Structure 1
Amino acid sequence: MQSIQTQSDLTRAFGIEVDENDLLVLQQVEQRVLWLTTYLLHYINKLRPSPDDLKVGGHQASSASLVSVLTALYCVALRPDDHVAIKPHAAPAFHILQYLLGYLPADTLRTLRDLGGLQAYPNRTKDPDSVTISTASAGLGAAATIFGALTQRYLGDHFGRESRGRYIAIVGDAELDEGNIPEALGEARTYDLQNLWWIVDFNRQSLDRIMPEHAASHIRRQFEAKDWQVIELRYGSLQEAFFRNPDLPSGAGQCLKDWLDSCRLSQYQTLMSRPGAELRHILSQFGGQQGVDMDRALQPLSDQQLKDLVFNIGGHDIRQILRTLAHAAQLPGPLMILAYTTKGWGLPIAGHLENHAAVLTDGQLADLQAAHDIAAGAEWDGFHPDSVEQTWLHQSLAKRGFPLPETSQMMPPRTASTTPVAVPERLPVRYPQTTSTQAAFGQMLVALSDVPQLGDRMVTLSPDVAVSTNLGGWINRRGVYAADSRPNDWREHGVETLLQWNEGPTGQHIELGIAEHNFYLALSMLGLAPEMHGDMLWPIGTIYDPFVERGLDALKYGTYAHAKFIFAGTPSGLTLCREAGAHQSFLTPLLGIGIPDLRYYEPAYAAELEVILCWALAQLADRERGESVYMRLSTKTLRQAAVEITPEWRQQVLSGGYWLRDYRTAADYATAPHLHLLASGVMLAEALAASDAALEDGIYANVINITSVDQLFRGWMRLCQGEHHAGYLDQLLPKADRHTPAVTLLDGHPLALGWLGNLLHAPVRALGVTAFGESAALPDLYHKHHIDADAVLGAIAQLLFTT
């Protein structure tokens, strides 16, 4: 790296001057952050009353690892438009900086990891202090920055929104082992994302182990292979000065550098807690092997000064950090900074193998308090309002354009500034008499592309399955998004194709690689466009339903962050029957019910899907109460039911279901054998066929079409939690129609509908799929899994015989 040395370079990069006196102030801030972070975690673990004896935790060592980097970022380098994904285990240090900058009260600090208080890991919906990107385990927050930067670029290309804001991820070195990280890195270069930095906290330790040897070079190659710029922040100022010192014996500076570069990671970590004399002996021996007089070179240094030199690495040297960040600001992205740090820096547990979950002893804390000159009773003190440090911090905020601490958060959330868009309740589409929900979905998107304002702000995504999920019509209308316009070689060479794959910056379909984590993270960040950028988008994704589970962590990440998007899981169930069991989904209905802040629908007919899709688009605009929507669709064609589309029917569809075949008005209904068939999605065909066959035997089998068991389950949960009614469930299944035997039928796990027996207080036979699939014709699989019409008739016979 070519060092950035001049004041003008720093000023140009950050909009703020940083001279030698300023560096001294920043070092004072850095030390106060270290003390307060350590004391905060001591307080919540050892001083704060707790109703149980479970460890509170908080990661003193991992927080200390990033104290210097966070100080440089939040006190100098960040701008109001930037978005930062904080390493989860460094959350306490982040909150302390917000406190010192004036954006967080001291009383709020003390609530860390308590109910209603600061979260263990940065959370955009629960923390009050400028968290815009949630982070937690599995590296999802870091990967989300890639798709946040993609969203920012997309908005700029389509609506002229200019933003110089950066997306910055601060990532633990062990987090890079998470599989979704390498999956995501390639998309950054695919879309030429410039304002994207990752800072890797290379402290060489994970939870239990020291990182493998050559980990740094492996990390570097991982990013370079995906065409990222890479900068190493390795050596501190003391080390750099020693390397270049002309007064040292010949080769001494290079000898120390060679030892640092070749030292085993485990040895380097171990020596942090050993006496300086031991370190001097090791360097002397190494110098002897190199023919360098290291004894004379090190003779002017005390043992402590020698340790200060050897462990003065770049990630804890404010001067070096700022130089590196200024250099990064001059380079095109995406960019990774490999920051060498120390886990437990500045603490007696620095570098120790077992420091991950360690909390300083009372004696160790007392020594640290004395070393930082913190008086008894002043443990929580920041800087005095009139102090040099506090004055400097406020001036720095003002120069960089941040709001005053007394009036706002450091990075207040944005809100959509666009004019409200009218979403139609109906679409001008005529569906074939026999069609599938997937095919109808494709028709609806084409119709929506013509809706004023809405069509321009819709964006579709798929993980390389756009054509096979019926997005072709939309793509022909709206094009494929790319960083630059690309020729359509098929068209230019006269090759006829039904699909017009026109790529360029104005396209409105994003075709990702086959990586479902990327799919859901991209949906999530596009679905947070109003909060992150002040512009509204309507993101709609399609994914093979069997692979919803593959991206489950990222899907939950998005809904937990209150992102708002729509996705269709299609084809679903056994429909991909010829593709073998790995392409057949049966657990996804349980996920649709179980994931919070996600509404799950499984329509049978095109008219139902149209109602659901239009409603889903409208409620995405409700940034307070709106939720993401999962529609489980199919390529299985059904003869469309003859229904009258009234406001009442529309509300029934949205609320969870309606009676499709109702025999309750039959004269002999009360005395004849009767029961309910509750079916969802494509299983309506089998339910209706069984109902017809049962009627021939004098049995009334009502068919109730469950459009959203999720909506019904929410009502049941309200009843279980003490409310006096179950919402729409009481209308769909009034008390007069309970105590009636029922069969539930789903091309999915029977648990999803089987719970309705609790409401009915009657025997229920729950039919569904409970085993892995195999290649076969669909009727054969239906028969094998006992979800065909004959299986329904068998369940009816069992129920009537036993009751």
Structure 2
Amino acid sequence: MDKTALKNIKPEVLDSIARRAHYLATQMIWQANHRSDKEKGDPKIGGHPAASASSLHIMGALHLLVKTGFDHIANKPHASPTDHSYNYLLDLFLKNDLSRLSQEECDTAMNGLRKFSAQGEPVFQSYHSTYDSDNHNFYPSGSVGIPPVAAGYMALAYRYAREHNYEVPDAHFWAVCGDSEFREGSMYEAVPDFAERELGSVTWILDYNRQSLDGHRITNKEIMNGTDADRVERTMAANGWEVIQVRHGSKRQALFKKKDGELFKNFLEKELEDYELQSLLLVQDMKALKKGISKEHPHLKKFLESVTDQELYDAFRDFGGHDMILLAEAMLKSKESKRKPTIIIAHTLKGWGLRAAAQPGNHSSLPQEEEVEELRQKQKISGDKLYERFASGTAEAKFLKERGESLLADIKAQHALKAKNQDSFLKQLTAFGEIPETLDINTKMTSYPHTQWMLGQLTAKLTRIANTPLDESKLSDKQKALTPNEKPFKLPGELFISMAPDVGTSTNLNPAMDGKIFGAPVVVDHETDLGVKDHKLPDLVPGEEVSDRFLRFEIAEGNVMTCVGSFGRMRDTLGIPLMPLMTVYDFFIKRALDQYFYNLYWKSSFICVGTPSGVTLSPEGAQHGWKSDIQIPFQITWEPFFCQELDWILCDALKRHVLNDNAGRSGVLLRLVTRGAEQKDMLHYLKKQARFKDGLQAPLARAEFPMNGAANEEEVAALDEATIFRTVREEVLKGAYYLIDYRGYAGYEPGDNVINIFAMGSLTTEAIKASEALLSRGIYANVIVVTSSDLLVGIQGHETDYEYLKSGLGINSNLILNRSEEVRTGDLITVAGRRVPVVSVHDGEAGLLDNIGSIVGVRQECLAVRKHSKCGRPSEIYAYHGIDAESVVEACGKVLAETALEKVIVSEQALGDAHQAEGASAHWTELWPSRTPAQKH
């Protein structure tokens, strides 16, 4: 709707619709708090009717007048009932196929605020949710301060997609924020970034009602040189935003035209503190109010005497934020700014239309039943009906029908575009066959590379492939044509976009950054012009070329986390499978953990690389060593050890994303390190496994520990590398694989001399050392490398009842009974019963792997980080935390000894001739003598 069409709208129709929406929102909140199935001890439902009412006309202007069905809205969480009410009136409660819910289903949804959907019936989650029936282009809003930022970065994603020649609709990005919410640090971090990126399609609307949860907001007017609205205006203008204040409604403006009216206007805008204004709103006696104001502000006495009590009462409550036409004009004006984002400060009354209006405790208060019934009667809703649309034929019904149909047409058009894009990308992605399982990075000529280095190699190759033309006649000098294995990565590489909070170079993204910064071209490349460009560093001059696929940020982890989530939503919003990847020092993921959770709840699809991670970053381990060990639905965490594992993992994640095959695991968290590892060890140990020997006829033995009747494993040919890797890749992507596996070796006796060591990430080096040391003591220590704790023993593992751990890896609690000398006690005898115990070692919180033993029912010792770290070399820091090789050996000895002490009492008849020698009970330390403190250090 443009300004011309706006002039033809009848304000009384808008007012009538707004009052119906106000009643509906109030009723749905009241019903939610008075359900018949409430149980003793249940927490209150809430619903925030006062906060919802303050945004009544803001949301009305958006829904009824300004927004298109292509626009996106982030609504403040406490205003969601009002939003649902407008969508109810517009008949925009939709099913997945975009058909409308029936009237009965709509009423069920309205009566189901914060209700559990036991039978799949439509309900509304608290605040806005991806699961609501009116969720189209709405941001989940439970996390205050985050949805407005997500709206801004979604605007950037739209621009990015458009300028990379993908088809996107014209859209504006609106965010309605509370004035307390506007103190959130997440919003202030984004303010300068949105301006510098010239996001003119972003409009934030501040619901400025001067109240918060705990009561009236009190700001320091003298120090801030004005009200909080003045401070916000100056702050936003200084940060490059357009600012529009919507202070006064038509009744106030009429009074301003009276004699001395300008004094009254100045009084409202400049002289009143917000707290004083809120206090004046509580006064009901206008004669006393006039007297009090005249005493404190004598220059207003004549003006106050010239207005009636009713005019003064109405004027104090006539905030501009409750005038839909004024708000719509401001919103339309904000869309005229193409280079600057805009903030509209809409002055409102918290609790508008309710008896609790302006009351300091109204945030959590609920109206009484008689007030709700009074609102219902005013809407002329009769009988037992609680929710009702306007009768057919009324001006309101005609307006809402036309408006609702227009918005639904846009919604259907967006979904059609999404389907078109999906089909187009699917055809292009399969044009060169299946996306390969590997990017074929050669690590054999590199000395002790680490996984962070490997990330740089992988992203560099994707970047090179993306920027290499398929048409060989268009190749530039020194540019090589793509190989058949690289061509299927061409489109995924073009869809790949990386970003970082000023740690791109230190996380090995240099090749993806160099000359490829996407951003407003606001500077001339003076370094090149002056001949001072350092070509050893990446070129960071921003541009908007098709080849620009890196987003540069300042040190603002929350911004980047929200941005990666917004870009990741492009696939499910418009069918454009942009594949965003962000790198951040793992320790600082916690600074953006709220945003990270939001991304996952929102079902965004993205890759977050936390690197370097853990105490393995030993020189900085004192403060930066506590990893962000978290389990959240839709997340899958990977922590590879060998570079080859990372290659397989990244290619699999990329393929799953672009082909929309990552349900339940859309958020990929990669933990990488800067500690190198011997890459040759991977094949070295895999080739020693019996399962990878060609035509094995006899048990195996290590060359250094020969055994009679056993074959020297070095003399038995192993399968070829490709065959081995095919098997191991599948296991890596299931969450774990055997690196050292003594099954099939002579003398391998589970229950006697076998233990399983689970190692994750860089600690695999320590596990290998420990396994070798234990073998020299006659202990067969298998080393199982955990690539994903989530898949093995986390959320995804739980969903399959840990099938892969139990069956795929064969980890079980089988009890092995051993015969011994005859010692009888009546008809019962005691035998030794032993299971294969587990030791786990990883750089992180114990909770990542400490449940392996309990899942299968065996003794486990979990070595992990349990205290603040210190600086030092990895070997020193690992020893300090008790996760070094020697600690692994000691832990293995402990659990083996404890397992050896386990007794099972059975009847002699059940065992037949089995006998057990009975001796005095011992402590495990007697079976595994520990080192003395001197030996330890």
TM-score, normalised with respect to structure 1 = 0.91
Query: Residue 770 of structure 2 is aligned with which of 663, 666, 690?
Result: 690
2:677 corresponds to: 638
Query: Residue 599 of structure 2 is aligned with which of 558, 568, 572?
Result: 558
Query: Residue 349 of structure 2 is aligned with which of 342, 356, 378?
Result: 342
Match status 1:166 vs 2:172: yes
Q: State the Cα distance separating 1:165 from its structure 2 match.
A: 0.9
d(CA) in 2 for partners of 1:140 and 1:65?
A: 20
Q: State the Cα distance separating 1:532 from its structure 2 match.
A: 2.9
1:115 corresponds to: 116
CA offsets 1:442-500 (integer angstroms, 9 cap, x no match): 11112222131111111001111001100012223x61111116444444414433233
CA gap 1:92/1:295 in 2 versus in 1, 3 angstroms: closer
1:7 corresponds to: none
Query: Residue 16 of structure 2 is aligned with which of 16, 28, 31?
Result: 28
Query: Residue 48 of structure 2 is aligned with which of 34, 45, 59?
Result: 59
Query: Residue 702 of structure 1 is aligned with which of 782, 798, 819?
Result: 782
User: Would you say the 8 A contact 1:37–1:96 is kept in 2?
Assistant: yes
d(CA) in 1 for partners of 2:325 and 2:292?
A: 26
d(CA) in 2 for partners of 1:580 and 1:675?
A: 31
Helix, strand or coil at the partner of 1:293: helix
Output the amino acid matched with 1:31. R
1:101 corresponds to: 90
User: Would you say the 8 A contact 1:130–1:412 is kept in 2?
Assistant: no
Unaligned runs of 5+ in 2: 94-105, 118-122, 220-226, 466-488, 687-720, 816-834, 901-937
CA offsets 1:20-39 (integer angstroms, 9 cap, x no match): x6211111101111111111
Of structures 1 and 2, the one scoring higher in RCO (CA 8 A, sep 6+) is 1
Asked which structure has the greater CA Rg, the reply is: 2
Could you tell which deviates more after superposition, 518-527 or 38-47? 38-47
User: Would you say the 8 A contact 1:252–1:293 is kept in 2?
Assistant: no
Q: State the Cα distance separating 1:177 from its structure 2 match.
A: 1.8
Helix, strand or coil at the partner of 2:203: strand
1:289 corresponds to: 298
1:745 corresponds to: 841
Query: Residue 621 of structure 1 is aligned with which of 654, 658, 669?
Result: 658
Query: Residue 801 of structure 1 is aligned with which of 892, 897, 900?
Result: 897
CA gap 1:691/1:724 in 2 versus in 1, 3 angstroms: closer
User: Would you say the 8 A contact 1:16–1:76 is kept in 2?
Assistant: no
Written as runs of structure 1 = structure 2, the 5 A alignment for 1:481-500 is 481-484=518-521, 486-492=523-529, 493-500=531-538
CA gap 1:284/1:212 in 2 versus in 1, 3 angstroms: closer
d(CA) in 2 for partners of 1:607 and 1:282?
A: 81
User: Would you say the 8 A contact 1:256–1:283 is kept in 2?
Assistant: no
d(CA) in 2 for partners of 1:623 and 1:132?
A: 21
Could you tell which deviates more after superposition, 549-558 or 671-680? 671-680
Query: Residue 394 of structure 1 is aligned with which of 398, 401, 406?
Result: 401
Helix, strand or coil at the partner of 1:169: strand
Output the amino acid matched with 2:345. L
d(CA) in 2 for partners of 1:220 and 1:288?
A: 26
CA gap 1:129/1:547 in 2 versus in 1, 3 angstroms: closer
CA gap 1:729/1:261 in 2 versus in 1, 3 angstroms: farther
CA offsets 1:116-143 (integer angstroms, 9 cap, x no match): 3211111124444425311113311111
Helix, strand or coil at the partner of 1:701: strand
d(CA) in 1 for partners of 2:414 and 2:15?
A: 21
Could you tell which deviates more after superposition, 561-570 or 440-449? 440-449
CA gap 1:481/1:291 in 2 versus in 1, 3 angstroms: closer
1:428 corresponds to: 440
2:883 corresponds to: 787
CA offsets 1:616-656 (integer angstroms, 9 cap, x no match): 00111354725121110111000011154533211100101
Q: State the Cα distance separating 1:350 from its structure 2 match.
A: 0.2
Written as runs of structure 1 = structure 2, the 5 A alignment for 1:202-601 is 202-213=208-219, 214-245=227-258, 248=259, 251-259=260-268, 261-278=270-287, 280-282=289-291, 285=294, 289-290=298-299, 292-298=301-307, 301=308, 303-332=309-338, 333-398=340-405, 401-403=406-408, 414-415=418-419, 416-417=421-422, 418-420=424-426, 421-422=429-430, 423-431=435-443, 432-449=446-463, 450=465, 451-476=489-514, 479-484=516-521, 486-492=523-529, 493-501=531-539, 502-506=541-545, 507-586=548-627, 588=628, 590-591=629-630, 594-601=631-638
Helix, strand or coil at the partner of 1:769: coil
d(CA) in 2 for partners of 1:412 and 1:63?
A: 33
CA gap 1:748/1:197 in 2 versus in 1, 3 angstroms: same
Helix, strand or coil at the partner of 2:758: strand
Query: Residue 142 of structure 1 is aligned with which of 148, 160, 166?
Result: 148
Helix, strand or coil at the partner of 1:678: strand
Unaligned runs of 5+ in 1: 1-10
Could you tell which deviates more after superposition, 630-639 or 467-476? 467-476
User: Would you say the 8 A contact 2:813–2:856 is kept in 1?
Assistant: no
Query: Residue 731 of structure 1 is aligned with which of 799, 808, 811?
Result: 808
CA offsets 1:743-772 (integer angstroms, 9 cap, x no match): 111011222111111134222111111111
Q: State the Cα distance separating 1:374 from its structure 2 match.
A: 4.1
d(CA) in 1 for partners of 2:391 and 2:409?
A: 17
Q: State the Cα distance separating 1:424 from its structure 2 match.
A: 2.2
Helix, strand or coil at the partner of 2:793: helix
Output the amino acid matched with 1:695. L
1:8 corresponds to: none
d(CA) in 1 for partners of 2:439 and 2:343?
A: 47
| Superposition RMSD in Å | 2.5
CA offsets 1:141-177 (integer angstroms, 9 cap, x no match): 1111111111111112212646431111100111112
CA gap 1:453/1:621 in 2 versus in 1, 3 angstroms: closer
1:5 corresponds to: none
Q: State the Cα distance separating 1:543 from its structure 2 match.
A: 0.8
CA gap 1:700/1:491 in 2 versus in 1, 3 angstroms: farther
Output the amino acid matched with 1:578. P
d(CA) in 1 for partners of 2:390 and 2:416?
A: 24
d(CA) in 1 for partners of 2:389 and 2:249?
A: 27
Q: State the Cα distance separating 1:308 from its structure 2 match.
A: 1.2
Helix, strand or coil at the partner of 1:667: coil
CA offsets 1:474-529 (integer angstroms, 9 cap, x no match): 223x6111111644444441443323314211210111111111111001000001
d(CA) in 2 for partners of 1:438 and 1:288?
A: 67
User: Would you say the 8 A contact 1:517–1:554 is kept in 2?
Assistant: yes
d(CA) in 2 for partners of 1:253 and 1:496?
A: 61
